[in-house]
Structure 1
Amino acid sequence: MRRSILFAVGARAIRSLTAARSNRGRFPTLDQNSSFLGPEPRGKEARKWHIRDKRKLSNRLREFFIYSPALGRTVGVRVLLPGIPQEVSPVIHLYHGGGDDFRSWTDFGAAEELTLNSPYLVVMPDAGAGTYSRVAVGSEVHDWPTFHTKEIPEFLAKNFSVDFAPDNQLLAGLSMGGYGAMKYAAWHPDRYSWAAAFSSPLDPLSAVPAFDIIAMREGAKSMTLFGDPVADRNEWIANSPYGLAENLQGLHLWLSAGSGSLEESKDRDLLESMVNQQGERFSARLNSLGIRHSWFPRTTGLHNWISWERELGAWLKTLRRQRDYASSDHRSVERRGGDLERRGGSLEPSGSIVEDHDAPRPESTTVNNSDRRRGGPRVADGGEFSYLTGHALFDIHGWRVEISRRRAQIVCFGSVSAAGFSLTGTGSFRVRTPGLYEPGRRYDISVVGPTGTNDYPQRADKKGRLTFTGRLAAAMHDPIIPGKRTQHFTTVGQAEVTTVRIASAKNDEPAVKTTDVSDSAHVDAKSTATSVYGYNGHNIVTALRPSE
């Protein structure tokens, strides 16, 4: 009964969204058709992404149809060239919402006009129904995160002159597109500097019916997107910006949502009211973590393109003032800060200016004095960081971690530096470090966890990397007969911490010749793992695809 009520509420919200958008024009997805390209590629042609068709729609706007192996089909992508030409351009990844497509931001959201005086190349890829997740549709899997975060960057690198430095990679989107932008930022905080969400659901666990309905619109079965919200809670958290909010430390975060009503109307937009409440909760969550952000709860506004066009324009103003501040005399800007605040803008804690004459000041703007992007040791040079993830295989700041596990779990890769790190959870792991060490030098590695302590030496490869394996907490077998007595097996051990310490071996000189272990463990580590664990260290961990 409770689930039926939730679905009814979710369906009503989706119908409200549909009605609001149809008032501005036809659904662009009704016109999306790639049949003119012929049958989808097969065999060798289907193994790599490639452009099947491209068009010039205006002086700045380009349209591409790209075959994606991650999706198994051809989808559309629109690209806006920089309004202010750049030799190497920063990039805005701009995502559409549920029910729209890659044409929507330029057809309905005035993206081309709003970016006329900006230096950004704007890429607007398709996202299907708008789950921004891996969706099982029959025997196929539509892997939208891989398409958006791997294939689209490769497409940009091959066809445009763009800057992939994190400071010049930005994410933004409306509704479900804002969810995708914030989730990708939480998954890859080392690759992006900004994340903006306009009217977006940022806590999937509090909007289960809406997410389920959107997945079913793509053809998935009910409760197959992230599984059951109770039994598969970790999968939901692994795909939740709210659940992974700690990873957003140091990024520029912008959130906004309307009130769900207009001044001249008493009608309520249920969907916009819901995402407004989610924005409040997400802002409170960021505040509790001491994460700097800007939250704009609008006094008016519905879940429609009028609101999103306004939000995109306000965010672009923020970007322009941020860049102006970075290239100006900071002291003169700071002197103007007091006057600006009195005029209705805001001076952000770091000194950068946010001014929006069409909107109130952000309700929440929090400072984090240890912001890794504005001071302190750089992570790339061994500075400390922590990272939450639900993936079994992940890359972050040059570290590659593979975890063999029986069940989905949230892993904390904590206090990571050249001196070592900690890992939570059950199973076994394999880690390849960045090139933080002296090539050929021997290092002592100590793995301390619930299963005991193991020490062994290893030499860094010619790129200054170490590759080693170890055990986490013992993985429990799945219960043969599920029930109250054994259901705790699903989570037991996941809070256990395993600590790894790395230190230079005493009285050791770098070896004359080193071995590159980019794809396998060093022979010393292999032989030691065999003696400690009783089997080849190569086989401790099976490389798994991320569970997205």
Structure 2
Amino acid sequence: MRRSILIAVGARAIRSLTAARSRSGRFPALDQNSSFLGPEPQGKDTRKWHIRDKRKLSNRLREFFIYSPALGRTVGVRVLLPGIPQEVSPVIHLYHGSGDDFRSWTDFGSAEELTLDSPYLVVMPDAGAGTYSRVAVDREVHDWPTFHTKEIPEFLRKNFSVDFAPENQLLAGLSMGGYGAMKYAAWHPDRYSWAAAFSSPLDPLSAIPAFDIIAMREGAKSMTLFGDPVTDRSEWIANSPYGLAENLHGLHLWLSAGSGSLEESRDRDLLETMVNQQGERFSARLNALDIRHSWFPRTTGLHNWTSWERELGAWLKTLRRQRDYASSDHRSIERRGGSPDAYRGGNSSIRRGKPRVADGGEFSYLTGHALFDIHGWRVEISRRRAQIVCFGSVSTAGFSLTGTGSFRVRTPGLYDPGRRYDVSVSGPTGSSNYSQRADKKGRLTFTGRLAAAMHDPIIPSKRTQHFSTVGQSEVTTVHIASAPDDSTVPDTAHADADSHLETTSGDRGFRGTVSFTPATEG
């Protein structure tokens, strides 16, 4: 009964918002389909993304229609060229909210005017109903994260001169677009430096009706976006900026929301009030994790374009001040005879004796994906159930993994090619010690067993649903050390790490390396 009431209230709020925008003429009136382009591509033309149509709308604004294999259809993308021309441009990925589309930030949010004096290339891709997630619609899957985080960067790389260094990749969005920005930042903290959310729900588990309604607007069935919030709780956390907040260490975070009212009116905007409360909770969560961020709870403001235009302008001013501050400090350092590189935040840890992550410095990462790449490390987990995995204390000295199933981990090229390393694996299934030589790229590869959920049924039921959490908190640890008195051998003198691992670990009784089936991301 309570859930039905919440869904009814949420549906009424979204319908009221849509009707209000429509009456004021501030709702996308153009058809969002691509029928004017003719039939969708078929056969081998569907294997790769490609531009089907493009047009110049102003000196800076370009519009593209791109076929996306991740979505199985053609969608629109608008791009604003930098107001201040750059040889290589930093990029702002700017996302719209539910009920809007790729045109909205330039049609209603003054994005073109607000970025007139900025060096950023601004890309504004479509996001459908605004789930910023994988959505099952009938027999199709709309994979919006792959479109936004893989295909859009490929599109930019091929058509524009842009800088993909993390410090020059920024994410921002309004409402559900801000949710997408924060979620993608938590999924890929090694790719981005900034994430900004204006009036955004950042904890899906405390806004279940809203997420359910938005998924249904995409065409999905109720409660199919992340599953049941009780039995599929891991999926909800895996798609929650709040649940993955600890991944946001080191990023510049900006949050803002209005109060849901105006000074001259007693009426309340329930949707804006709700996201304001979410912002407060998310800020408290970041504070508890000691993550620096900027949280602006406005004393007035509704869930509308007036607020979002203001917030985009305020955020852009903050970016400009930061860049001016960094540039002035660089000039000051140069006048004192120093190097500007010594100032950059990414390198400041070197001066304190702490190596960067790229050089093997320690980091941890929380995820719900079974297949992921982070800071050059590639991890594959074969499992029966969705689970949250902590890839912890990762450095050249080793790492830890939580959860059940089997794993395969390939390191970046952090080791001496051909050198022998001693490996120690310990966990719920036992302990093992063996040696392995780094491949010609300086990488090591490990496979093994995590905890085993012995009673985890393939087909769950109410009687067995509690088994799904058995073993998920267990920790498996891998330690890596240079073998004593070992000299580097030529690349041709040893087999690759995978075959070597199977031979040595098999001889020494290492568990779980006989076979491994890579899992797909999801």
Q: TM-score range by the shorter chain?
A: over 0.9
Residue equivalent to 1:39? 39
CA displacement at 1:454 relative to structure 2: 1.3
- The answer to whether the 8 A contact 1:429-1:470 is kept is yes
Which residue matches 2:427? 449
Question: In the alignment, does 2:495 pair up with 1:522?
Answer: no
Shift in CA distance, 26/260, structure 1 to aligned 2, threshold 3 Å: closer
Q: 1:146 to 1:276 in 2, by over 3 A?
A: same
- Per mean C-alpha deviation after superposition, the further-off stretch among 18-27 and 148-157 is 18-27
Deviations 1:170-212 (A, max 9, x none): 0000000000000000000000000000000000000000000
User: In structure 2, which of residues 341, 358, 364 is the aligned counterpart of residue 386 of structure 1?
Assistant: 364
Q: Match of 2:385?
A: 407
Residue aligning to 1:417: 395
Contact 1:450 1:496 in 2 (8 A): yes
Measure how far apart 1:531 and its partner are: 4.0
Deviations 1:380-402 (A, max 9, x none): 00110000000000000000000
After superposition, where does 1:191-210 map in structure 2 within 5 Å? 191-210=191-210
Asked if the contact 2:456–2:470 (Cα under 8 Å) also holds between the matched residues in 1, the reply is no
Distance 2:210 2:332 in 1: 48
Distance in 2 between residues matched to 1:484 and 1:217, nearest whole Å: 30
- 1:510 deviates by 1.3
1:437 to 403, 412, 415: 415
Structure 1 letter corresponding to 2:38: G
- 2-side partners of 1:272 and 1:32: how far apart? 26
Contact 2:61 2:81 in 1 (8 A): yes
Asked if 1:546 corresponds to 2:505, the answer is: no
Please identify, of 113-122 and 21-30, the stretch whose mean Cα deviation from structure 2 is larger. Answer: 21-30
Q: Which amino acid aligns with 2:513?
A: G
In the aligned structure 2, how far is the partner of 1:26 from the partner of 1:514?
A: 66
**Contact 1:462/1:515 (8 A) holds in 2:** no
Partners of 1:29 and 1:99 within 8 A in 2: no
1:332–1:9 distance in 2 versus 1, CA, 3 Å:
farther
Note closer, same or farther for the CA distance 1:543–1:90 as it changes in structure 2 (3 Å cut): same
Q: What corresponds to 2:90 in structure 1? A: 90
What is the CA–CA distance in structure 1 between the aligned matches of 2:249 and 2:351, rounded to whole Å? 11
Report deviation, 1:526: 1.7
What's the CA shift for 1:532?
5.5
Residue 395 (1) aligns with residue 370 (2): no
Query: Cα deviation per residue 1:351-379 (whole Å; 9 max; x = unaligned)?
Result: 99xxxxxxxxxxxxxxx999979974210
Unaligned runs of 5+ in 1: 334-350, 353-367
How far the C-alpha of 1:22 sits from its partner, in A, is: 2.3
Residue 128 of structure 2 aligns to a residue whose secondary structure is coil
Q: CA deviation at 1:20?
A: 3.9
SS of the residue 1:272 aligns to: helix
- What is the SS of the residue equivalent to 2:308? helix
In the alignment, the residues of structure 1 paired with residue 56 and residue 302 of structure 2 have an alpha-carbon distance, to the nearest angstrom, of: 33
Q: Is the 8 A contact 2:254 2:293 kept in 1?
A: yes
Do the aligned partners of residues 516 and 524 (structure 1) sit closer, same or farther apart at CA in structure 2, a change above 3 Å counting? closer
- Tell me how far apart the structure 2 counterparts of residues 114 and 370 of structure 1 sit (CA, whole Å): 32
The answer to whether the 8 A contact 2:417-2:491 is kept is no
**CA-based RMSD:** 2.4
SS in 1 for 2:502: helix
For 1:179, the equivalent position in structure 2 comes to 179
Distance 1:305 1:208 in 2: 24
Residues of 1 paired with 2:461 and 2:33: CA distance? 49
Distance 1:99 1:516 in 2: 58
Closer, same or farther: CA 372–543 of 1 in aligned 2, 3 Å: farther
Q: Supply the distance in 1 between the matched residues of 2:421 and 2:118 (Cα, whole angstroms).
A: 49
Deviation digits for residues 440-495 of structure 1 (CA, Å, limit 9, x no counterpart): 00111111001000112111011100112011111334348966763321101000
Question: What is the one-letter code of the residue matched to 1:425?
Answer: G
Q: Which amino acid aligns with 1:4?
A: S
Partner amino acid for 1:513? Answer: D
One-letter amino acid of the structure 1 residue matched with residue 152 of structure 2 = I
**Cα distance, 1:158–1:538 mapped onto 2, change above 3 Å:** farther
Structure 2 Cα separation of the partners of residues 107 and 470 of structure 1: 53
CA contact (8 A) 2:432 2:510 kept: no
1:320 lines up with 2:295 in the alignment: no
SS of corresponding position for 1:281 = helix
Aligned 8 A contact 2:183 2:241 in 1:
yes
Bigger shift: residues 465-474 or 196-205: 465-474
Is residue 509 from structure 1 mapped to residue 487 from structure 2 by the alignment?
yes
Instruction: Name the amino acid aligned to 1:427.
Output: G
4+ residue segments displaced more than 6 Å: 330-333, 368-375, 533-536
- The 3-state SS of whatever aligns with 2:62 is strand
- 1:117 and 2:117 aligned: yes
1:251 Cα offset (Å): 0.2
In the aligned structure 1, how far is the partner of 2:324 from the partner of 2:318?
10
Matching of residues 47-62 of structure 1 within 5 Å:
47-62=47-62
- Cα 1:411–1:317 shift into 2, 3 Å: same
Shift in CA distance, 66/296, structure 1 to aligned 2, threshold 3 Å: same
Residue type of the partner of 1:114?
A: L
**Alignment partner of 1:464 is 2:442:** yes
Q: Contact conserved, 1:66 with 1:74, CA < 8 A, in 2?
A: yes
Task: Give the drift of 1:38.
Answer: 1.1
Alpha-carbon distance, 1:42 to partner: 1.1
Q: Distance in 1 between matches of 2:350 and 2:257?
A: 27
Give TM-score, length-normalised by structure 2.
0.94
Distance, in Å, in 1 between the alignment partners of 2:310 and 2:351 is 30
Query: For structure 1, which segment, 412-421 or 470-479, has the greater mean C-alpha deviation from structure 2 after superposition?
Result: 470-479
Amino acid at match of 2:433: D
